[in-house]
């Protein structure tokens, strides 16, 4: 067996295959047991830290449109309807959220009697991702222990636990958190299989790895991470870093993946669900387009490749959303792993890290959450740099004071920054990005998004006349909050609907974070129109502006603004139903609504 560049001797090395004295074997087993219990304790500690960070005020922001779709799907599940419900996404997250909401309702009832802590429905909906996001820190630590030493593995797990970017993304009810957890878990089990002492042990770890990949496919329909893991081991084999001959069996492995996937996600077998997935892949369900990156709207479709959101999106995201000490460790580790290519850590970094980053950058559609499955392998690079630095300090017998200062910079600095930005983790920017003076500048669709839907509904519900119409770029979440405050009579309509024509008295909500090509004309027309409006802020950000549409009193503006407003005023509705509604509008209600005490900003 070739040991050139092999796994760190201190880290879970396999017992030698040559005959040994019985006492030596027992000592080896005792050492491995001691290391395993120590590693399990540290993994649990990291998971608890990550859980505490992610749970803090997890329900403070409003439901997003995607989360509202899941909320609606869960209500259908409760009535026994599983087929054709939000079917472009697997059912695992919705099933877990259903269980969490049910348990949360019971807990809240008990909490109200005994004055225990409780969470709102938004928090319970996101609770499964909080759990799995926290558990990812433990799995990342254990996975790194198969490749690097203790100090570097702890650093990698710590980076995941407290870095603002994964913390923010794990606090959303989106599929990427489960995808990342189960993919990393499957990679860990696969690594254990490759390093197993016996055929029986290897077979067990391969089965567990197949189950992990099956669960990752059932979390999100993204198979390429499985291929990147296979590529990492292919490269490792070329370098002599894996066992030869291989004990991997393709038939059994793929059969276990398939059975796991079908068992957890049986609705995929129904034709209607399959067609929904195909339509989603062809963007048939997309009603709006555009991603506002640093003030410029870009088309956000995967098929546009380099013609979509700029290729440097994820590089810039990592540069400005990672605390400086962590960023320095990741850059240093990346350079070291490029140099030390005959290591297993380098194989995973180059495939699931570098190659993964390149693929994401080439894709035309870009969202922050797409980077989540990339981050563990970048943090592996950071941990590798820390391990190298630790080894060098131990060799040179560096004073403990210096070691303490280095540890404080790497671990305490990010914790203090995280605390300073709580609970607005999505807004975090380091000094490279400009810090708090540039909040929501670069990635507003991800940073602000539908943060304030609850607050907008709270502003509208007490004052809006009966049967009002509210146009917004987040109709699903707005409908949920309007109904929650008892205003089912208010109709929330999509602002991006090409058939929408505003009429006097309509409430139009402009959200800079939800600016699309289809809604840009409203920003141009209403921005300086002088119409009565009110601003809604979330923390340090102006999140929304609510306008009362009144075409008769526009404020003179630029030629473009006047022309756009004229278009909105004179446009003919394309549906007869809309025309009839416009003709039957209650003018007295409109006048009454215009008198509520909202200031008009000139």
Give 65-117 pLDDT, tens digit per residue: 999 999 999 999 999 998 888 888 899 999 999 999 999 999 999 999 998 99
Q: What CA–CA distance (Å, rounded) separates 379 from 318?
A: 11
**pLDDT > 90: what percent of the chain?**
64
pTM metric for this prediction: 0.88
**Range name among 208-217, 223-232, 580-589 with the lowest pLDDT average:** 580-589
pLDDT at 564: 60
What pLDDT score does 4 carry? Answer: 41
Note the pLDDT tens digit of each residue in 389-412.
999 988 888 887 888 888 888 899
Q: Strands (DSSP E) along 280-376, which ranges?
A: 291-293, 296-298
Q: If pLDDT is split at 50, 70 and 90, which confidence band does 247 have?
A: confident
Q: Which structure tokens are listed for 481? A: 């909050």
pLDDT at residue 277 in the model: 78
In order of 493, 503, 511, 521, 523, the CA distances from 531 in angstroms are 20, 13, 16, 16, 13
Residue 314 has what pLDDT? Answer: 97
Kindly report the backbone phi and psi dihedral angles of residue 543, in degrees, each rounded to the nearest multiple of 5, phi listed first.
-90, -35
d(CA 396, CA 543): 53
**Averaged pLDDT, 49-55:** 97
Structure tokens at 89: 């996404």
**Cβ count within 10 A of residue 458:** 14
Q: Is 538 exposed, middle or buried (0-12, 13-18, 19+ CB in 10 A)?
A: buried
* CA-CA-CA-CA torsion sign (445, 418, 127, 278): positive
Cα separation, 436 vs 430, in Å, equals: 8
Averaged over 407-432, what is the pLDDT? 92
436 vs 85, higher pLDDT: 436
Mean pLDDT: which of 240-244, 518-522, 580-584 is highest?
518-522
- pLDDT score at 592: 32
At residue 241, does pLDDT exceed 60? yes
Average pLDDT over residues 379-391: 95
Where does the pLDDT of residue 47 fall: very low under 50, low under 70, confident under 90, or very high at 90 and above?
Answer: very high
pLDDT of residue 553: 64
For residue 527, is pLDDT > 70?
yes
Would you state the pLDDT for residue 244? Answer: 73
Q: What is the largest CA-CA distance in the chain?
A: 96
Mean pLDDT (the chain, rounded): 86
Supply 194's token pair. Answer: 């490759």
Q: What is the mean pLDDT of residues 311-332?
A: 96
* Position 262 confidence tier, pLDDT thresholds 50, 70, 90: very high
Mean pLDDT of 482-488: 93
Q: What average pLDDT does the segment 578-595 reach?
A: 33
Q: Mean pLDDT across the stretch 414-437?
A: 93
- pLDDT of 3 reads 43
* pLDDT computed for residue 5 by the predictor: 42
Is residue 27 pLDDT above 80, yes or no? no
For residue 184, what pLDDT is reported?
98
Q: Residue 58 pLDDT more than 90?
A: yes
Q: What is the pLDDT of residue 274?
A: 78
Output the pLDDT for position 406.
86
Our measurement of the distance from residue 141's CA atom to the centroid of its chain's CA atoms, rounded to an integer in Å, reads 20
Contact partners, residue 421, CB within 8 Å, separation at least 6:
164, 427, 428
Of residues 330, 422, 409, the one with CA closest to residue 375: 330
Q: What per-residue confidence (pLDDT) applies to 43? A: 97
Q: Give the model's pLDDT for residue 243.
A: 77
Q: With left for phi above 0 and alpha for psi between -120 and 50, is residue 123 left, alpha or beta? A: alpha
pLDDT at 583: 34
């Amino acid at each position: 067996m070739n040991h050139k560049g092999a796994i760190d001797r201190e880290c879970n090395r396999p017992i030698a295959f040559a005959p040994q004295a019985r006492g030596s074997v027992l000592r080896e087993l005792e050492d491995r047991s001691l290391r395993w219990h120590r590693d399990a304790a540290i993994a649990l500690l990291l998971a608890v830290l990550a859980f505490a960070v992610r749970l803090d005020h997890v329900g403070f922001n409003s439901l997003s449109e995607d989360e509202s779709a899941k909320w609606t799907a869960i209500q259908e599940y409760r009535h026994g309807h599983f087929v054709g419900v939000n079917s472009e996404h697997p059912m695992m997250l919705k099933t877990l959220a259903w269980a969490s909401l049910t348990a949360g309702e019971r807990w809240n009832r008990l909490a109200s009697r005994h004055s225990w802590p409780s969470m709102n429905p938004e928090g319970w909906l996101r609770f499964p991702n909080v759990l799995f996001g926290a558990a990812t820190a433990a799995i990342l630590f254990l996975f790194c222990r198969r490749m690097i030493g203790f100090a570097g593995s702890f650093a990698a797990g710590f980076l995941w636990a407290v870095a603002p970017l994964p913390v923010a993304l794990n606090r959303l009810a989106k599929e990427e958190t489960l995808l990342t957890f189960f993919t990393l878990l499957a990679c860990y089990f696969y690594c254990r299989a490759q390093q197993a002492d016996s055929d029986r042990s290897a077979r067990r770890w391969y089965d567990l790895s197949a189950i992990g990949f099956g669960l990752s496919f059932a979390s999100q329909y993204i198979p390429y991470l499985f291929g990147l893991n296979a590529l990492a081991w292919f490269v490792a084999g070329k370098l002599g870093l894996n066992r030869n001959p291989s004990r991997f069996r393709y038939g059994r492995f793929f059969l276990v993946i398939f059975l796991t996937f079908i068992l957890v996600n049986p609705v995929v077998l129904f034709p209607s669900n399959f067609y929904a997935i195909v339509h989603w892949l062809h963007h048939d369900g997309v009603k709006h387009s555009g991603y506002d990156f640093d003030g410029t709207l870009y088309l956000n479709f995967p098929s546009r490749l380099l013609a979509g959101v700029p290729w440097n999106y994820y590089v810039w995201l990592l540069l400005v959303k990672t605390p400086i000490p962590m960023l320095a460790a990741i850059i240093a580790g990346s350079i070291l792993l490029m140099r030390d290519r005959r290591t297993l850590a380098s194989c995973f970094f180059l495939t699931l890290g570098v190659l993964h980053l390149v693929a994401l950058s080439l894709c035309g559609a870009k969202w922050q959450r797409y980077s989540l499955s990339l981050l563990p392998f970048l943090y592996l690079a950071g941990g590798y740099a820390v391990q190298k630095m630790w080894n060098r300090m131990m060799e040179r017998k560096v004073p403990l004071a210096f070691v303490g200062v280095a540890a404080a910079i790497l671990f305490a600095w990010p914790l203090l920054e995280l605390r300073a930005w709580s609970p607005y983790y999505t807004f975090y920017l380091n000094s490279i990005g400009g810090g708090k003076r540039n909040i929501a500048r670069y990635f507003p669709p991800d940073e602000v998004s539908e943060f304030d839907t609850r607050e907008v509904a709270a502003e509208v519900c007490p004052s809006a006349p009966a049967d009002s119409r509210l146009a917004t770029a987040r109709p699903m979440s707005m409908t949920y909050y309007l109904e929650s405050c008892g205003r089912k009579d208010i109709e929330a309509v999509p602002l991006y609907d090409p058939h929408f024509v505003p009429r006097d008295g309509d409430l139009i909500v402009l959200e800079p974070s939800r600016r699309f090509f289809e809604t840009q004309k409203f920003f141009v027309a209403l921005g300086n129109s002088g119409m009565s409006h009110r601003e809604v802020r979330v923390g340090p950000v102006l999140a929304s502006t609510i306008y009362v549409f009144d075409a008769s009193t526009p404020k003179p503006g630029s030629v473009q603004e006047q022309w756009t407003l004229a278009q909105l005023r004179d446009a003919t509705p394309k549906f007869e139903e809309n025309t009839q509604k416009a003709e039957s509008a209650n003018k007295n209600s409109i006048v009454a609504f215009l008198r509520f005490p909202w200031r008009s900003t000139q």
